[in-house]
Amino acid sequence: MYTIEQGIEIPKKEVGRPKQAFPYQQMRVGDSFLIKQNGGGKKTLHLKRVEAFAQARKHGIAITTRSVPGGIRVWKIRKPYERQQVTQQEEAKHVSTMSRANGQ
């Protein structure tokens, strides 16, 4: 049998598991951190990797990950369009240098 109660406040809803804050904002390109395995299996580690990518995308940050002994290592990398901009700048510089070298 159930007891009917009144005046009980409804707690705030928590969807999914608590989000882990990753240090993306403090990182520079090339910096990395380790997400430790902490006894979970491959599925738990996969979920942590998915969460790392989701949070990075939310902050507009590009990352790459690799499985390493003890967990997953996460590196902050340049975004693909940043690489393209650098390449275009280098190309323009090269063309300018070549033009001067050929007397143009």
DSSP 103: T
Residue whose C-alpha is closest to residue 63's, from 36, 84, 33, 20: 33
From 5-14, 34-43, 76-85, 94-103, the region with the lowest mean pLDDT: 94-103
Q: Where are the beta strands (DSSP E) in the chain?
A: 32-36, 62-68, 71-77
Q: Which residues have C-beta within 8 Å of that of residue 31, sequence separation ≥ 6?
A: 75, 76
Question: Could you report the per-residue pLDDT of 38-71, keeping only the tens digit for each?
Answer: 877 888 888 899 999 999 998 889 999 999 998 9
Domain ranges in the chain are 24-93
Residue 89 vs residue 13, higher pLDDT = 13
